[in-house]
Structure 1
């Protein structure tokens, strides 16, 4: 599997100026190459290299390997289609390989710049440093919101999947971001309060429309998104840890295209479209893969309306958002917890390995 380690560079003021100049020069060269490729309809890397290698080196004073990376970057940009001419921002990310980048130690990296090789410090967590042991391929130099980063792709073998003793069903929601079949609920009140706070603040600043208001909008841009991403990371980590500790697989519902299927009134529409279930599912899947925990995707239809005791499916079984009460047998439970239990049972049935293990019973025994 592949993961990306983002390392923050700590350049001196002089090194930062050189980094800006280098990134601007490389993207200027890429734009020139893109023009030549568009004019001559030469999009393959080999053909573009043969056509422009000497010229781009002479025109932009680039080293041999940097010129090769620029050509590869332009050719890769045209792989999607050749219908529009590609253009690159002044400080767009640029790839480095082992010929123009080298990690000197745990604190410094040697980079090619226009002025020559520079050793620049970087910081990263212990987790990121462990990932670097599996670094493979190119490293992207990025300039994001005034900060410099290196994005290193790390490729390592998938761990052996454990043999689960049951399934942990996870129900995604808006009031409760996630609820598992063991009864643990991850409330979304904090995320909703943060979302409402920043929505109100953005509306006020946009209504003002002054230069100071626009500057403030740029300053707070992305905060809500980063907070929601942080919360999804925390929730996914706890869910995977619970499954690994209990030797359970994870059952998730397939909510793809749910926004197109579900109808919501105007008051609920904004909240529905801010729902980050796809990101949370992706985080759970890659963390589970690293931990060797199997993940099963199931059909979400009627999971919140089905009674686990008698099997009755009825819209009236869920009179309120949080309450489940079967109209047939009277069984009652928290609605999200009930749905998570149904997901766990469906995930167990989906996997042939659980046919003889009575996995749903294992989950039910933990619920009591």
Structure 2
């Protein structure tokens, strides 16, 4: 299982200047390569390396950073083409899709740059790193992190790390591969219903009200509107200072909620059954005042937090869309893709939405029958 660990670099002014120059050089090279790839119509890694590798090295990049720039550009175009095929950028002829297809991909000059072990080495016990820059190799750059993060880096760090410059801070985001515990056989499942008025409601009685978070979002929205309307330099500085504050607060709330649910499931030896809300923003139609609330709610984030915390704890997690309407077998592999459902136990093949609708219909029928049954004791 892969997780990321974020640490904050504590560079001197000279080191910070070298890091800034490195990011700028790498992203300027990526923009040049993106333009060349767009003009030639060649976006694969092999094609890019064939005609641009030596040019990238002449721009001030050594061998490994040049390869990372090649991969970054190729991966960006792969993602773009996948989004176009999936219809995420609109139908053919739409303004959004036409804009994406009519120009090369652009990278910010301070966009993240990946590093591997050849150009970045960690001294975890000393809490320092040795990093490649366009000014040469710089050793002994200090970083700060929690003790838990330090242990994860020491025991499980593997693969690439990203150098990030955000809000005046220098960050390293490292990938760690941790072993997953065996998933236990659940005694039952805790159902989790996600919503806006109540962020999460479980079948065990836990209710995470969304009133406080919605009030916080409304305050942030009103403040942004006032500062944007004012338009002064101090207002713009304030807007920049408060950027991402709402998303950080929402992420913290989602972490707390998901941890409570997973802890309860682990304590009671239950699994977690979660509703699949994929594509909800495209399916629902709301009045204009309601759209801000819908689109500002982190539908996917809470589900992702629940999934990775459950995997770390060995708790079974199943989405309702993964249940077979015929034999009620629940397995992630049952959902082949967005449209197809193939049960791994009984072999039934169905449209995924039709299978889900049958599950919902069965639950509705059970609830209706239960509501009509008399609770009065039978006459002896």
TM-score higher than 0.5 here? yes
Q: TM-score range by the shorter chain?
A: 0.7 to 0.9
1:86 partnered with 2:142 = no
Once residues 281 and 43 of structure 2 are traced to their aligned partners in structure 1, the CA distance between those partners, rounded to angstroms, is 38
Q: Deviations over 1:302-332 (max 9, x none)?
A: 98xx789x7218xxxxxxxxxxxx974699x
> Normalising by structure 1, what TM-score?
0.77
For 2:159, which of 137, 145, 162 is the aligned residue? 137
Asked which structure has the greater RCO (Cα within 8 Å, sep 6+), the reply is 1
1:273-323 CA-partner distances (Å, limit 9, x unpaired)? 3332321111101110111111111168798xx789x7218xxxxxxxxxx
Q: 1:110 to 1:204 in 2, by over 3 A?
A: same
* Mean Cα deviation higher: 258-267 or 222-231: 258-267
- Pairing of 1:1-368 with structure 2 (within 5 A): 1-58=1-58, 60-80=59-79, 83=101, 84-106=103-125, 107-118=127-138, 119-132=140-153, 133-262=155-284, 264-298=286-320, 311-312=367-368, 328=372
Distance of 2:12 and 2:373 partners within structure 1: 71
- Checking the alignment, whether the CA contact within 8 Å between 2:184 and 2:314 is kept in structure 1 is yes
User: What secondary structure is seen at the aligned counterpart in 1 of 2:148?
Assistant: helix
Q: Distance in 1 between matches of 2:45 and 2:288?
A: 50
1:185-243 CA-partner distances (Å, limit 9, x unpaired)? 11222212211211221222222233322222222121111101110011101110110
- CA-CA distance at 1:261 after TM superposition: 4.7
What SS class does the counterpart of residue 311 from structure 1 fall into?
helix
Unaligned runs of 5+ in 1: 314-325, 332-368
Structure 1 residues 268 and 70: CA distance shift in structure 2, 3 A: closer
Q: After alignment, is 156-165 or 47-56 more displaced?
A: 47-56
TM-score, length basis structure 2: 0.75
Cα deviation for residue 23 of structure 1 reads 0.9
Per-residue displacement from partner, 1:141-176 (whole Å, max 9, x unpaired)? 111121111121223343210111111111212222
Q: Measure the CA separation in 2 of the matches of 1:79 and 1:327.
A: 52
Q: 1:72 to 1:276 in 2, by over 3 A?
A: closer
- Cross-structure match for 1:340: none
Q: Which residue of the partner structure matches residue 366 of structure 1?
A: none
Q: Distance in 2 between matches of 1:233 and 1:178?
A: 12
Inter-partner Cα distance in structure 1 for 2:285 and 2:55? 58
Contact 2:122 2:128 in 1 (8 A): yes
Q: Distance in 2 between matches of 1:62 and 1:265?
A: 51
Q: 1-side partners of 2:287 and 2:41: how far apart?
A: 50
Tell me the SS of whatever aligns to 2:367: coil
Contact 2:124/2:150 (CA < 8 Å) preserved in 1?
A: no
Q: 1:216 to 1:156 in 2, by over 3 A?
A: same
